[in-house]
Amino acid sequence: MIENSGFLAQKILLVSLELLAIFLLFLIFFIIIYRYFNTRRAVWFEQNYQRITDELLEMLTSSDPQQIVVVAEKNKKLFGPLTHALLDLARRIKGPEREKLSAVFHLAAEKKVKRYLRSPFLIRRLMAARLLDFFTELPDPELLRKLLKDKAPVRLAAISALARVPTEKTVSFILETLETDPAPDFQTYLEILFPLGEALENPLRQSLKKTLRPEILSFYIELAGVIPLRRLYPDLLVFKNSENKEVRIKTARAISRMELPESFTVLLEMASDSSWEVQAQAILGLGRLKNPEAIPFLVAALSSPYWHVRLNAKEALLLMGEPGIEALRQVASSSSDRFAADMARMGLLEYEEFYQRV
């Protein structure tokens, strides 16, 4: 900008400007060409997707089993539109018709998708993970573990695909994968297994009989309580005296969540466990059962040396309703134990606040 700026600088600027102008023209041209080819590709995809969907629908309504082979053979080279059409239909169709879709997948795409599961490209792994629930035979546990530790989109696709298939075979496979996983991410497994609900019962019962690592066993027990799978209650009882404290804590918590009247004596027993964590869980369960026979025990627990036990005893008494509130009033007004009285007063305050809000 200054008068004595050199000739060289001007020359550089001029050349830069020329190059820039050429590049701008190239950009405009590229935008137009790119748009043209992209539009054509989208039209091609849409047309094939629509045609394959129609053929699949026709196949679903046909009684001729040969139709499955015909549709699969005809479209196996159109991998993208075919898998999209299969997935979109499978979302809406259940029962034997869905099996027909699986058969088409098996004939036309399964081999390729199995290769894709091991692909270094994220998109391919993702595509394959979405199709996991179509597999006639699930891939080996090692591969599934890799998928569940893959990048976020792949992991999520695998989880949602597996969570869609509540068959015993799938569940057993997932449990086997977990049991052989050296460093499992329990949150991921919880996300897969929780939606399967009751379908978990038998496979989980079988697994609880195995000799498992304590963290896996604890996870299973927790899962049985979270869903809750009440028919597994007898299977959980064997763990109430486990040597592993974590297993006992999870057992107490699971049994508490099941809210079964027959668990009263078991919870009462566990509420006197040597570990305060187990005590705290069992005490909460006693509250959920609303059995007034537990009140003297819960009042005594308000004087526990452990804050969490006192807190859960207060919670349990609140859950009991009127008899529990009355017990809290008595402790608050007459207990010689300052800590018990404080906890009882806190419970009463919460009760009053809740009552006012209601």
Partner 1 sequence: MKEALQMILSVSSWAIIVYFLVLNSFYLFFILTSVFELLRFRQLQLVLKTIEILPTPLVKPVSIIAPAFNEENSIVQSVTNLLSLDYPVYEVIVVNDGSTDATLQKLVENFKLKKVNFVFRKVLKTKPIRGVYLNPDYPRLLVVDKENGKKADALNAGLNLSRYPLFCAVDSDSVLDRDALQKVVRPFLEDPARTVAAGGIIRLSNGCVIEKGQLKRMAMPKNILVRFQIIEYLRAFLGGRTGLSVLNSLLIISGAFGIFRKDVVMAIGGYRKNTVGEDMDLVVRMRRYLHEKKQKFRVRFLPDPICWTEAPSNLRSLANQRNRWHRGLIETMLANGKMLFNPRYGVTGLLAMPFYFLFELLGPLIELLGYVLFLAGSVFGLVNYFYAALFFALAVGVGSMISLSSILLEEFSMRRYPRTRDVLGLLPFCFFENIIYRQYLSWVRVKAFVDFLKGKKEWGKIEKKGF
Question: Which residues form the interface with partner 1 (CB under 8 A)?
Answer: 1-3, 5, 9-10, 13-14, 16-17, 20-21, 23-24, 27-28, 30-32, 34-36, 38, 80, 87, 91, 122-123, 126-127, 130, 152-153, 155-157, 159-161, 163-164, 191, 194-195, 357
CA dihedral 77, 81, 83, 86 (to 10 degrees): -120
CB of 169 to partner 1, least distance (A): 19
Please identify, using beta-carbon distances, which residue of 164 and 290 lies nearer to partner 1.
164
Token couple for 72: 């699969």
In three-state form (DSSP H/G/I as H, E/B as E, the rest C), the secondary structure along 62-90 is CCCCHHHHHHHHHHCCCHHHHHHHHHHHH
Q: How many residues does the chain have?
A: 358
Using alpha carbons, select from 51, 113, 123, 54 the residue that is nearest to residue 79: 113
Q: Are 296 and 330 in contact (CB under 8 A)?
A: no
Token couple for 137: 């035979």
Please identify, using beta-carbon distances, which residue of 15 and 300 lies nearer to partner 1.
15
CB of 13 to partner 1, least distance (A): 4
CB of 28 to partner 1, least distance (A): 6
Q: Are 327 and 299 in contact (CB under 8 A)?
A: yes
d(CA 93, CA 98): 6
Half-sphere exposure of 270 (CA within 13 A, CB side): 32
d(CA 179, CA 307): 36
Please identify, using beta-carbon distances, which residue of 56 and 298 lies nearer to partner 1.
56
Please identify, using beta-carbon distances, which residue of 106 and 164 lies nearer to partner 1.
164
Please identify, using beta-carbon distances, which residue of 68 and 132 lies nearer to partner 1.
132
Q: Which residues contact 21 (CB under 8 A, 6 or more apart)?
A: none
For 209, phi and psi rounded to 5 degrees? -85, -15
**Helix, coil or strand: residue 20:** helix
Please identify, using beta-carbon distances, which residue of 158 and 286 lies nearer to partner 1.
158
CB of 147 to partner 1, least distance (A): 14
Using alpha carbons, select from 254, 253, 315 the residue that is nearest to residue 290: 315
d(CA 293, CA 321): 13
Q: Which residues contact 103 (CB under 8 A, 6 or more apart)?
A: 68, 72
Buried b (16+ CB within 10 A) or exposed e, 14-45: eeeeeeeeeeeeeeeeeeeeeeeeeeeeeeee
Please identify, using beta-carbon distances, which residue of 197 and 292 lies nearer to partner 1.
197
Please identify, using beta-carbon distances, which residue of 209 and 357 lies nearer to partner 1.
357
CB of 127 to partner 1, least distance (A): 5
Half-sphere exposure of 8 (CA within 13 A, CB side): 0
Please identify, using beta-carbon distances, which residue of 36 and 307 lies nearer to partner 1.
36
CB of 92 to partner 1, least distance (A): 11
